[in-house]
Structure 1
Amino acid sequence: MGLRLTPQETSFYSLFATSADLLVQATRELTRLLEAAPSDRQPIADRLKELEHEADDATHAIIKRVNSSFITPFDREDIHGLAAHLDDCMDHMEEAADLICLYRIGELPSGLAGQFEILSRMAEVTAEAMPRLRSLQNLSSYWIEINRLENQADDLHRKMLAGLFNNGNDAIHVMKAKEIIDGFEDAADSFEKVAHLVEGIAVKES
């Protein structure tokens, strides 16, 4: 990384870390959702909504900091993009979990435990990586692992859809379950977008 002659705004790093930590908390709630009886799911979905609001607050704080800072640690566009993609991870997880309650899903789609396990690992790896944005060192293992996990998520997503369509389910159930399955896959895609952007930042700043 080249020598910087001007001071940097360091609070961005703590804000990104906060966003990532909220994602870890959200995936823990997904695990609780998986284990809960249908009648006990709403409070968990409500907690996810609270976490989504906290994530929105963190995103807004990052954008406000960008707009008020003369010096930023890396390109403003990249900061905006990173904040937005982290927020998308949370939004997709919260929305899909909410649909489980709104659609009054009894038995959860087969394979959902696998999706949640992948998302949990993605959140943990992302949270571990965010503090390293300060130095932009030792990050390659992060985006490599996220890409590997996203490939797993894609493979599982296809298998879940195939099982859904091939098992003779009624059309309404298929539509509901597919929207939920797709929502959690969108979350996995967003984690990969975060990793790709971090990789791009590391390359530009090296």
Structure 2
Amino acid sequence: MSIFNSDTEFYDLLEKQADLAVQAAKEFQLLGGGFGQSTERATALKRIEAQADELTHELTLKADDKFITPYDKEDMHSLSTALDDITDLIEAAGARVAIYRLATPRVDFIAMAQALLATVEATRAGVGGLRHIRDLKQMREHLIRIHDLENKNDEAYRTALGDLFNEPGADPLNVIKWKEIYDRIELVADKCESVAVGLERIVVKYG
């Protein structure tokens, strides 16, 4: 029995949320090529975020209206919210690049943005696995990959902070700006981990 009975609209909505998160991560990763179009990138991210918010609201309404026992509405709300948070946090990081008028991306930023995209793409694959929840081997592979990539994001984050705070002659204001951006990238990776935990909880209950 499917966790959404025979109704696929919840799968569709969750996957659309995950797709928007990937779109946001790709848009953000493009900033690694230079900050000359940071305002345009920030605008694009804001547009993606608005679409994601609409999907979150739509899923909440449908879950409250149609989702019946024995399946847990809280699991659905938690998963949907975590996916929305991923897009929100990417948008917030991109907005700060534009607001702070940073001139060029740091090497660490480029590496973190690339690692982040890989993690969000792995999260999308995990969400897609809900349609095939009985394929436990595949779902576990998705979850392991998300966890592994999140750990790599943690390592990249620590390296970036170390380089930032120990750079000779660093401008304290720039250090503050970059730390805020790095912190938000790290939070995105944490939210991907939250999605993995949510997926794992659903697998345990209904797999």
TM-score, normalisation: structure 2: 0.91
- RMSD over aligned CA atoms reads 1.8
**Between the two proteins, what is the percent identity of the paired residues?**
35
Contact 1:85 1:193 in 2 (8 A): yes
SS in 2 for 1:167: coil
Contact 2:126 2:199 in 1 (8 A): no
Letter in 2 for 1:156: A
SS in 1 for 2:165: helix
Q: Which residue of 1 aligns with 2:156?
A: 156
Whole-angstrom distance in 2 between the partners of 1:127 and 1:73: 26
Deviations 1:130-169 (A, max 9, x none): 2321231220011100110011111111111011110131
Contact 2:126 2:143 in 1 (8 A): no
Runs (5+) with no aligned partner, structure 2:
none
Whole-angstrom distance in 2 between the partners of 1:190 and 1:19: 13
Shift of 1:9: 3.4
Q: Which residue of 1 aligns with 2:175?
A: 174
Letter in 2 for 1:165: F
TM-score, normalisation: structure 1: 0.92
Q: Which residue of 1 aligns with 2:30?
A: 32
Q: Which residue of 1 aligns with 2:73?
A: 76
Within-5 A mapping of 1:9-158: 9-36=7-34, 38-71=35-68, 74-136=71-133, 137=135, 138-158=138-158
Contact 2:147 2:193 in 1 (8 A): yes
Whole-angstrom distance in 2 between the partners of 1:181 and 1:16: 27
Whole-angstrom distance in 2 between the partners of 1:194 and 1:48: 21
- Are residues 55 and 43 of structure 1, via their aligned partners in 2, closer, same or farther at CA, if it must alter by over 3 Å? same
Letter in 1 for 2:195: V
Contact 2:38 2:94 in 1 (8 A): no
SS in 2 for 1:39: coil
Runs (5+) with no aligned partner, structure 1:
none
- Are residues 187 and 70 of structure 1, via their aligned partners in 2, closer, same or farther at CA, if it must alter by over 3 Å? closer
SS in 2 for 1:139: helix
Q: How many residues are treated as equivalent by the alignment?
A: 202
- Are residues 139 and 157 of structure 1, via their aligned partners in 2, closer, same or farther at CA, if it must alter by over 3 Å? same
Contact 2:31 2:105 in 1 (8 A): no
Whole-angstrom distance in 2 between the partners of 1:70 and 1:92: 28
Shift of 1:80: 0.3
